[in-house]
Each structure stands twice: as structure tokens, then as C-alpha cells.
Structure 1
Amino acid sequence: MNDPPCFTGANASRTLAAVWLLPRVIYGLFISAVWVSAVWVSAVSADSVHAGRPNVVLIVSDDQGGGDYGFMGNDLIRTPQLDAMNECSGRLTNFYVSPVCGPTRASLMTGRYNYRTRCVDTYVGRAMMDSGEVTLAELLRDAGYRTGIYGKWHLGDNYPLRAMDQGFQDSLVHRGGGIGQPSDPIGAEGKYTDPTLFKNGNQVQRKGYCTDIFFDEAMDFIAKSVDSDAPFFTYIATNAPHGPFHDVPNDLYEQYRNVDFAPIMVGKVAPKRMDEQQDKLARIAAMITNIDQNVGRLFSKLDDLGIRENTIVVYLNDNGPNSKRYVGDMRGSKSNVDDGGIRSPLLFHWPEKVDAGTTANELCAHIDVLPTILDACDVELPANLIIDGRSFLPLMTGRNAPWPTRQLVIQSHRGDVPQRYHHFALHENSWKLVHPSGFGKESFEGECKYQLYDLSLDPKQQRDLASQHPNVVKRLANAYAAWFDDVSSTRPDNFDPPRIIVGTPNEPTTVLTRQDWRHTQGKPWAVDSNGHWLLESNSSGRYEVEVFMNTDLPTAQATINAGSFSQRLDIPAGKRTGNRTVMQLPSGQFTLAVDVVVREQVQGPHQVSLKRIDD
């Protein structure tokens, strides 16, 4: 394969960032010169590595959005490394994800629609994925790969749902759906810089910015894998550019803070909010460019190790952008089932097998990533494992394999149980049947009013063709109904939440957070809200129970209920931690709830820890 002009790693990132402040004409001339003169700086891999199965790096950014790339036409947010990766990779141009992050991650890890996995939402216990699901990490681990995850898991924080329980041999992750949420460890709330994370289940503090840390840890894992002469699967799932936005790379923020982002804002912004929106986009842009720089560092590392040629690097974002901003020739943003909320470019970099500049417009989605990687790694899918995806590797390598017409369904909304017809999109070739009834509620009211678009002629979804093609609407609506029946019947209790198992050596101390509680009172994460946790234990036993609060309360009293067992605990004024008692917890499946009475009002705890002490 001829070496194409391509990027040269971290040095190119710094150079391009420096010239960004030059006048645009000079910058354009500079970029042209770089592309003409650049050479592929990839060290020759050892024959033994070339002869083996490829390594795999899967990179997923959080809330980046399908238009936040230079190669997608965004000339305000700088992504020189990803732009260069695009030039040197294969790309899927018609690739879909879920409108929010947890469901996308469940599909990526299993090759199955998330409604089969019990992961139906992003919080209050509905982002947890059933532990019986077989993940990409488990399949590659069992095939001899070293497996590591760095960043965001978001499919369960406790045994047996953690990444380390689901096939990842090495992990450095944050809890919940993001740093800055109620799942943060006590005292570490919202720290993107010097964050408190979890290394193979143990709480640790790391120095630096979170994205840099995740890439550093991943590159260390890669180097150790090369030393051990084993192929590796490295999953880098950044927490950026997810909010909150108070803590971003300062040097990049300073470069962006005076940029006029109005050209990429979508919709009207009230004049009094314009400064706020400009600053928010400056912070998001800083986080995205920081990811981009780390992608450059990663490729430099692959070069240093001599393994770039036979290492697959996949890059995508998990859903639409976390503000109403540029999404190319589409409409929508995060949580929407319009294309702007569920489209992502997918870059597939594998120099040994995929020619630079290869593109494919066939209909693909997150469910296809697992079978594609298994195909590339020559790992057979177990005969008893049923998935929904198909390998798109032939589209990248040019193999003459058939790609039959398919239908893809994307559906996600708040709540405990998916509702038929609520907030879904079905795609077939260029047809898009959509009922964008809104992500925010568990159900919709009134009649289901389908919209139908021909995306080949109307990518912005401005001309609803439903009344002109009633037979197409009927056919696709029937196909959706059959799909919904199928995914809903995966198991008899398909949409029941998974349970957290306590009292095992796998997790000696279980910390329960509002991320995974079953919400019962108030807004799920509000101070005065309440909820309970669905737990399971192999046997009854004595536990040390600690109740954490996140505000300074007056004297309060907590009642801990676990199945048929109950215990009262006094909480002194202003005491947030160290509120401990010892009590018996039952065996089997049970519910644990903590009612904290403050000024005659009942609220829930911030977090609860359980440590078995009778073994």
C-alpha cells in the first residue's frame, strides 16, 4: 500500500494550533503546503506483529456532535489531528448512534440494540447494563487480547456491572455518566483537573486534565501490551466535551475565548444570553481541541512503538452536540432523533488493510462496531450469541461482499419502560420515518404523527413526505412495530432494572449513588429528592453502613430499611460523612432505602456505602 500524505502526530498538532491565529489566507496556504509535503511517519512494524491479528483502539468522545470537526466543515473548532486522520483513514458517512450516551455505549459494547440489554436511559438505574450481556471486551479477552478501558463506562458502577466485571482487564474510569455528577466520590465533585477516578475498582487521584490522563493511561497500557507481545483492545472514552464546563484546558480556552461563535450557533439566542453562549462554546471548543491533540499524541506513540500499520484506530462521537450548534447539513442536537442528534462520522484507520480516503455511504450504526472489530481480528462470534449488527469491514477493505438493504431503528427517551412509537426513527436506504415526540418524558400524549423524509434529497428534514407516500409510511411503521416487539421480548422481564450484588469479595465496599437509585421523590438529583436501590446478596450478614450527605444539615435522623431489617441512625448537625452504623442485611433480592428526616421533611441521602464485616 502506498504511503499517503498524513499527519505526523503531536508535533503537527502544536504547529497547526500555533498558526491558527495567522490570517486565514496565510493559514490556508500553510495547510496546503503541509498536505503536499508531509510524509507518513510510521515506523516499520516487526514481521511478527504484522503477521498477527491487529491491535484495536476505539475512541469515543462524549457530546462532541457530528459537526464538531474541520473535515465536516466546521472552521471554528480546530481539529487538525482528526482532520488528518480522516485523510488517512476509511470513513463511514452514513453512521448512526443513539441520541444519548448510555444507550450508544451499550450498543457499542454488545452489537445489540440497547433495549435488549436493559440499558434504556442515562440515570436513575436505567443506564445499568445486564451483566449477562457479552461484551466486545469479553470476546477479545477470551481470544487472547489484553483489554483496557480509560474514561467513561456509564453502564454500571457496582459489581457485577462495572467495566472490570465485563471483560476489561485494566480500567481507569470515572463513575456514572460524567465527572461532576452525584456519582463523584465525596470531596471530588466536578474535578476535571486532578480528578478522583477508579483504577481497577480502587479509588485513586490523578494529576492533570482528565482527557490527558485517560490517553496517558491508555498509551501506557498499549506500551505494556507490546512488551508482552500480546494484541490489545484499548477503549478510550473521553468525558469531554460533556459538561459541566467550569474546568477546561486553560491555554486552549484563552485561544478560543475571543472567537465569534455566532456562525455555528443554531436558532435564535437572546442578546442577554449571547455572552454566556459564546463562553460556553469557547469552553467546549477547548475540550474538543484538547481531545484532538491527544489523538495526535496517540498516533505518535503508535509510531514510536512501530505498530501503527497493523493497529485499527476507530473514532466516533456518542450522540449529537450538547448545544444547538453546527451539525452540517442536518437538523437536531443531543437527545433528538433527527439526524443531527444521532449521526456521527466514523473514522476507521488501519493502514495495513484500508486505503486512505476510502468512504462508504451504506447505512451503518453503533451495533455494527462489535461485529466489524471481531471480523478484523479474526474472532468468531459464539454460535449462541445473537447480535443485531453486521460487519462493515468489507466496505472499508473493498471486498466484494453484498450489503443488502436494511432497516435501522434508533429510539430512546426518559423513563423506566420504553413506549411503543415514542421518540424513534427508522431508516431504510434514504427513507427516514420519525416520530420526534421528545426525549424528556416516559410517554407522549395524543396521536402518533409520523414524519417521512427522503434524506437523499432533504438531509435537513424540511419537507415531510408522509401525506404523499402513505404506503411507505404504513410499511415502515409496521416494520418499526415488529422491531419493537422483537427487542422488547429479548427476555421475559426485559425492561426490569439490573440489581447490584453486595457483600462479595469482588467489591468489598459497595458505594451506592443517586446515579443508580430508583427515584421516588422530587427531581432525581435534587437535594430534597429520594429513592431506593435494588440489591441482591448471596447470604444474610452484618454490614457497616455509612450515610453520606452533601449539604450541611441541622440535626437529622435517618432510617435505613433493607428488606425486613431496619435501623435508625442519628446524623449530627453539619456532619456530611462518618455517619455509620452496623446492621443486618438480608439474603436474596431486596430493596435498600434511607429516609433522612430534616425539619420534619423526608429526603434521601447523597450516597450510601455498605461493607460486609461478618466474613
Structure 2
Amino acid sequence: MTYSKAKFLAVLLLVLFVCSPATLSAAKHTNVILIMTDDQGGWDYGFLGNKILNTPNLNAMAERGARMSRFYVSPVCTPTRANLMTGRYNYRTRAIDTYIGRAMMEPEEVTIAEVLKPAGYRTGIFGKWHLGDCYPMRPQDQGFEEVLVLRGGGIGQPSDPPEGAGKYTDPVLFHNGEKKQMKGYCTDIYFDHAMKFIEQNEADDKPTFIYLATNAPHGPFGDVPEALREKYKAMDLNDAYGYTLNPKRKNEKLYDKTSRVFSMIENIDQNIGRLFKHLKQIGAYDNTLVLFLNDNGPNGPRYVGPHQGSKGSVNEGGIRSPLLAHWPAQLKPGTVNGRIAAHYDVFPTILAATGVSKPKSLKLDGKNILPLLKNEADNWPERALFMQWHRGDEPTARTNAAVVTQNYKMTFSKPDAPGKLFQLVDDPGERHDLSQEKPAIAKWLTNQYDQWFADVSHTRPDNYAPPRIHVGNPKETTTVLTRQDWRYSGPKGKGWTRDARGVWLITVEEDGNYDLKVLFSKSQPPLPSELTMKVGNDLFHAVVPADQAEHVFKNVTLHKGEQTVDVKIIEGDIERGPMMVYLIQKPAGSSAH
């Protein structure tokens, strides 16, 4: 069965199951806005003791709503986004890392948007997706009907359109699949469009689900709100880092980066204030559940309370976020719950809040934590949470991993090293290893972790194989292959360096004719380039003049089936891969060369 047919049947079953009159009635009057920032650390908030950052609107949101004070996310962003969208551990979804083909989510996974949309919700995403840029992994293929997103992991990365060039102000974004030149600062744009979206839905008496995922305060840091940057640049930033920072690292370069990050965060806070004002104006304030979290620890040295760690680490500073929940109709102001919870709990919690039933066939790892947010869970069961991340095509057991319970935490650094046991209430900085003092607990948590890793690693027979990009589907007639989604190839295959090599794994849905456009960077001074492109068993070759940085193989045939795209560019004694490849489907009837 083809992907499109299987997906159609799956969505049809969701429609039949979810869209009962009772479900529609229950869900109709509750909107949900899910906001997540990018690389804002778990203590980059005034209400959590940050002495430098000005976050009055987030502070007020925390006071007016409820929050989870021990909420966990993944060490980096794509895994958190997969957990959030599916309610399942990201190791079940193929989205295990942030780039080079490891950040594409299995399209058969069911997103929260795919459950809410058949129940009558209008669904929109504004900002960062980072779970696949090509069909069938785009947000519009995964339940979102209004889409305004950047490509890949961020503006300024290799997936960014060439004309975008890393611009946070007046960025090039993608609106429902079409490339658009926008005006304004990126975070402001996302909030503007989200507010217009819910306003129109309220006018039509339709419930709304919005996923508003900013790419701030992720780098690059050159283009930030300038007035706010000047404000923080003039401040004494010594209190911005906490005891985890080595004093030798405090220098003007670090202070400059911190001032830029803080300006981006305060701009987010200002937009939070605008959003709540708008919800009041359109009469949607009381009946809208607004959820707020960050995706991982801070992108550099910053204050993390009594803890240690930053982005990428499984120490508390790398995997903690507040979860704020603002819902005047249902939640008591000032509620704080200290039970452990995690990003994969958001999916079932949204279903509970909206009254939309979970499809019977859908298996979730998360739990509905709405009773915790309402302080209505006197006998909440004990549970264990699991976090892990490191580079690689497949995860390795007991590598940068953690298992967390209400009282204890076990961390693992590498397979051949024993884990470390901490009691977080007494030791929030994870300084005192108790594994020798409490061997029974250490053994029990190690067994818990081993069982979890074995379970998630066998969700599918080829569990960590990347999803294939589909080419030739009517929903995407031009497929853009970027370095974001290629797999390593050759001796220079590592990373996004200029001379890196990689290949793309695609499925051509039907035989067809295409123009194949290759973009590449030129040497300095420019030299003629020998260009070789192989798609499956078909080989194309050209010599490109020194003054050209692209070449088009016109009207060639691509054959149905699974193919590998491999492009090699030779300039002098340098061999590299392309910057991007465009597979442009030709109208039916075009004759191939």
C-alpha cells in the first residue's frame, strides 16, 4: 500500500472515531494555543528567580494560571518537538537528532493536529516545525491546515532559501507551501498571523488549535530587536549566569551574546502580552487554554537555578522547562504542582481539555496531567520519565541518558561506565552520586532504563532508518533537497561544512520527467566545476563554467521506486556536495532527454 493511501485510511478512521456529536459539542468551545520557544533555558524567567531578564507578561501568566514546576523536555529541539506533537517517545518516531536526515519524523505517526482537525478544529502552525521539510513530512501533510514556517532547524541554516540569508527581520518563510518574503521581525510575524487565525475562527464560531513555535532565542544572533539589545548591553550581566559558569569565560563576547539572547526573550514576552490582549478583544480569553514551554536548556552559559547543565545535557539545566497553563474558565490562579511530568504528556492533556477522544488504535506514552494542573489528583501514581540524546544515526544505550522519578534520578554518560544516582530534593546540583550508598535503587532504575530503551528501539523493524522523501506527488511538485536532510557520505561527510558530502533517500511515486537544478558554492577564485549527479541507476554529468553556481539537467526521467540521490562537485582538487537540489516535476506529456 502506498504512503498516501495508508495515510488516507488512517485519517479516515480518525474522522469516523473522533467526530461523534458528543465529542464535537464538548470540544467546540475550547481553543488551545501551544507556545514553545527555541533554546530559552528553563530558568530564563523572572518568576523563577532570574534577576536580569524582564518577563512581566510571562510572570503574569504564571500568576494567573497554573504551572508544573518539575516539567521535563529533551536535551535538544527535534526530539522535544516529536514528543510534543505525538505524545510518544521520539525514539519511536525516527526523529532522533537535529540534522543530516535524523530530524525527519515518520509520517505514519499521528500528530495532535491530526486528531483535533477531524473533530472540527481549525489547526495552524506558526514558526518552527523541524520534523521534515518535504512531502509527506511537512506540517500541512500532518494535520495543519494553516502553515507559516521556516525550513529545517532555523533561519540561517543550510535549509534556509538562498535569498533568506539568515534574516530574522524580513525573513523568507513558507506559507502553505509557498515561499513568501515577509516584512517585520520573525517572532512578531508568527504572533501576528496566529492572532489573525484565531480571530477569523472565532468569527466563524470554530474552535482553534495553534502551535506557535518561535525560532528565538536560537542563533544566529546578529539580527535581534536592537532597542532591547542596547538595554541589556548597558546592564551588569554578571548575575545572568549563576554559579555554573567558570569566571574565565566571562568576557565581552559572552556578554554581547547574552544581551542578544535576552533581547529575543523579552521580545517573546512582549508578544505574549499582545496575545492575551488580543484574546480579550475577540472574546476568547476565558475559553482559550494557552500552554507555554521551552524546548531544551539554554544555548550557552546562563542561570539555571540551583542546577547545572545546558542544552544537550541530561543534567537538570539541560532538560527542564516550566509548563505554564493559562485557562481562566478552568484553572485556579497561582496553582503550582510539583509532580514530575514531561513534553509527551501535553498531547493527552490537550485531548482532555478539549473533550476530544483518543483514537483507540493510538498508543501514547504520555499521561493526561490536567488533574495535576487543577490540583485534583490526590493519589497520582508513581512514574519514571526517560530522556536521552546524542549524535549518531542510531542511539546507543546508556549514552547521555537519564531516568527520573519523583525522588531519584539516574544518569548515564556512556555504555561502559556505571550510572550515577542522585536525590534531587537534597542535591539539585547533581553533585553527590549515591549509587554505591543505595545500590538497590541504582539497580532498579538501571533496569527501568534498559527496559525502556529496548521497548522504544523496537517500535518498528527498521526503527532508526530515516523516512524517505517522496517525489512526484501532486501535493509537492517541486521537491527541495537540502543538507538538513541528507545522510553522510564519503570522507568529508561530517556536518554542514562547505566541503561536506551527503546523499538523499527518496521514493519516486511514479515515472515522470523532471528538471534537476543543482545549487553549489564556488571556490575563491572560481574554477570550472565537474558536476556528477546520480539518481538510482541514472547518471547525469556536466562541466559548469567558473562564473556559474548552478546547473539544470533539463527534462530527464526519474523512475518509480526507492532511489538514492548523490551529487558530486569537483573544483580543482576539492570534492564537495551541493548546497541544494531542486527536483522540478514537468507537466505530463513532456518528453525526456
Q: Which runs of 5+ in 1 are unaligned?
A: 1-47, 438-443
Q: CA deviation at 1:614?
A: 4.8
Q: CA deviation at 1:400?
A: 4.2
Q: What residue in structure 1 maps to residue 507 of structure 2?
A: 536
Output aligned runs, 1:259-274, within 5 Å. 259-265=235-241, 266-270=244-248, 274=251
**Contact kept in structure 1, 2:28 and 2:206, CA below 8 Å:** no
Q: What residue in structure 1 maps to residue 446 of structure 2?
A: 477
1:457 maps to 2:426: yes
**Contact kept in structure 2, 1:567 and 1:583, CA below 8 Å:** no
**Contact kept in structure 2, 1:564 and 1:586, CA below 8 Å:** no
1:566 maps to 2:566: no
Secondary structure of 1:611 counterpart: strand
Secondary structure of 1:252 counterpart: helix
Q: What residue in structure 2 maps to residue 37 of structure 1?
A: none
Q: What residue in structure 2 maps to residue 440 of structure 1?
A: none
1:246 maps to 2:217: no
Q: What residue in structure 2 maps to residue 45 of structure 1?
A: none
Q: CA deviation at 1:228?
A: 1.2
**Contact kept in structure 1, 2:125 and 2:210, CA below 8 Å:** yes
1:88 maps to 2:64: yes
Q: What residue in structure 2 maps to residue 73 of structure 1?
A: 49
Question: What is the alpha-carbon distance in structure 1 between the residues aligned to residue 348 and residue 191 of structure 2?
Answer: 25
Q: CA deviation at 1:472?
A: 0.8
**Residue type at the aligned position of 1:362:** R
Q: What residue in structure 1 maps to residue 358 of structure 2?
A: 381
Q: What residue in structure 2 maps to residue 505 of structure 1?
A: 474
**Residue type at the aligned position of 1:128:** M
Q: CA deviation at 1:436?
A: 3.3
Question: What is the alpha-carbon distance in structure 2 between the residues aligned to residue 388 and residue 574 of structure 1?
Answer: 54
Question: What is the alpha-carbon distance in structure 2 between the residues aligned to residue 201 and residue 66 of structure 1?
Answer: 33
Question: What is the alpha-carbon distance in structure 1 between the residues aligned to residue 456 and residue 377 of structure 2?
Answer: 31
**Contact kept in structure 1, 2:544 and 2:551, CA below 8 Å:** no
Question: What is the alpha-carbon distance in structure 1 between the residues aligned to residue 339 and residue 417 of structure 2?
Answer: 29
Secondary structure of 1:462 counterpart: coil
Q: What residue in structure 2 maps to residue 99 of structure 1?
A: 75
Output aligned runs, 1:188-267, within 5 Å. 188-265=164-241, 266-267=244-245
Q: What residue in structure 1 maps to residue 141 of structure 2?
A: 165
Question: What is the alpha-carbon distance in structure 2 between the residues aligned to residue 533 and residue 50 of structure 1?
Answer: 45
Deviation digits for residues 466-522 of structure 1 (CA, Å, limit 9, x no counterpart): 110111111110111110111011111111100000011111101100000002242
**Residue type at the aligned position of 2:322:** P
Question: What is the alpha-carbon distance in structure 2 between the residues aligned to residue 69 and residue 140 of structure 1?
Answer: 31
**Contact kept in structure 2, 1:49 and 1:307, CA below 8 Å:** no
Sort the Cα spacing of 1:431 and 1:613 in 2 relative to 1 into closer, same or farther, 3 A: same
**Residue type at the aligned position of 1:492:** P
**Residue type at the aligned position of 1:586:** H
Sort the Cα spacing of 1:311 and 1:49 in 2 relative to 1 into closer, same or farther, 3 A: farther
Moved more, 428-437 or 466-475: 428-437
Q: Which residue among 516, 519, 529 is the counterpart of 2:485?
A: 516
Question: What is the alpha-carbon distance in structure 2 between the residues aligned to residue 594 and residue 334 of structure 1?
Answer: 33
Output aligned runs, 1:18-33, within 5 Å. none
**Contact kept in structure 2, 1:569 and 1:581, CA below 8 Å:** no
Deviation digits for residues 214-251 of structure 1 (CA, Å, limit 9, x no counterpart): 10011111111111110000111000000110000111
Secondary structure of 1:344 counterpart: strand
Secondary structure of 1:545 counterpart: strand
Q: What residue in structure 1 maps to residue 549 of structure 2?
A: 576
Question: What is the alpha-carbon distance in structure 2 between the residues aligned to residue 172 and residue 195 of structure 1?
Answer: 12
Question: What is the alpha-carbon distance in structure 2 between the residues aligned to residue 389 and residue 177 of structure 1?
Answer: 25
Deviation digits for residues 50-105 of structure 1 (CA, Å, limit 9, x no counterpart): 99431000000000001100001001011111011111010000100000000000
**Residue type at the aligned position of 2:47:** F
Secondary structure of 1:345 counterpart: strand
Q: CA deviation at 1:270?
A: 3.4
Q: What residue in structure 1 maps to residue 34 of structure 2?
A: 58
**Contact kept in structure 1, 2:297 and 2:319, CA below 8 Å:** yes
1:113 maps to 2:89: yes
Q: Which runs of 5+ in 2 are unaligned?
A: 1-23, 589-593
Deviation digits for residues 414-456 of structure 1 (CA, Å, limit 9, x no counterpart): 110011111100011110000134xxxxxx6xx2221100011
Question: What is the alpha-carbon distance in structure 1 between the residues aligned to residue 92 and residue 547 of structure 2?
Answer: 44
**Contact kept in structure 2, 1:260 and 1:278, CA below 8 Å:** no
Q: What residue in structure 1 maps to residue 275 of structure 2?
A: 298
Moved more, 381-390 or 273-282: 273-282
1:592 maps to 2:565: yes
Q: What residue in structure 2 maps to residue 339 of structure 1?
A: 316
Q: What residue in structure 2 maps to residue 23 of structure 1?
A: none
**Residue type at the aligned position of 1:585:** L
Q: Which residue among 550, 562, 574 is the counterpart of 1:601?
A: 574
**Contact kept in structure 2, 1:534 and 1:589, CA below 8 Å:** yes
**Residue type at the aligned position of 1:199:** H
Q: CA deviation at 1:402?
A: 3.7
**Contact kept in structure 1, 2:516 and 2:584, CA below 8 Å:** yes
**Residue type at the aligned position of 1:406:** R
**Contact kept in structure 2, 1:150 and 1:217, CA below 8 Å:** yes
**Residue type at the aligned position of 1:339:** E
**Residue type at the aligned position of 2:421:** L
Deviation digits for residues 240-298 of structure 1 (CA, Å, limit 9, x no counterpart): 00011000011111111121212222422537x60000100000000000000000000
When normalised by structure 2's length, the TM-score is 0.92
Moved more, 578-587 or 301-310: 578-587
**Residue type at the aligned position of 2:501:** N
Q: What residue in structure 1 maps to residue 4 of structure 2?
A: none
Q: CA deviation at 1:612?
A: 1.4
Secondary structure of 2:228 counterpart: helix
Q: What residue in structure 1 maps to residue 102 of structure 2?
A: 126
Q: What residue in structure 1 maps to residue 115 of structure 2?
A: 139
Question: What is the alpha-carbon distance in structure 2 between the residues aligned to residue 73 and residue 381 of structure 1?
Answer: 38
Q: Which residue among 381, 395, 409 is the counterpart of 1:418?
A: 395
Question: What is the alpha-carbon distance in structure 2 between the residues aligned to residue 129 and residue 396 of structure 1?
Answer: 29
**Contact kept in structure 2, 1:128 and 1:154, CA below 8 Å:** yes
Q: CA deviation at 1:557?
A: 1.4
Q: What residue in structure 2 maps to residue 546 of structure 1?
A: 517
Question: What is the alpha-carbon distance in structure 2 between the residues aligned to residue 574 and residue 237 of structure 1?
Answer: 40
Q: CA deviation at 1:398?
A: 3.1
Question: What is the alpha-carbon distance in structure 2 between the residues aligned to residue 152 and residue 309 of structure 1?
Answer: 27
Q: What residue in structure 1 maps to residue 528 of structure 2?
A: 555
Question: What is the alpha-carbon distance in structure 1 between the residues aligned to residue 131 and residue 181 of structure 2?
Answer: 22
**Contact kept in structure 1, 2:121 and 2:208, CA below 8 Å:** yes
Q: What residue in structure 2 maps to residue 325 of structure 1?
A: 302
Q: What residue in structure 1 maps to residue 330 of structure 2?
A: 353
Q: CA deviation at 1:574?
A: 3.2
Q: What residue in structure 1 maps to residue 7 of structure 2?
A: none
**Contact kept in structure 1, 2:513 and 2:586, CA below 8 Å:** yes
Deviation digits for residues 580-604 of structure 1 (CA, Å, limit 9, x no counterpart): 4332222111100101111033210
Aligned Cα RMSD in Å?
1.5
**Residue type at the aligned position of 2:336:** T
Secondary structure of 1:489 counterpart: coil
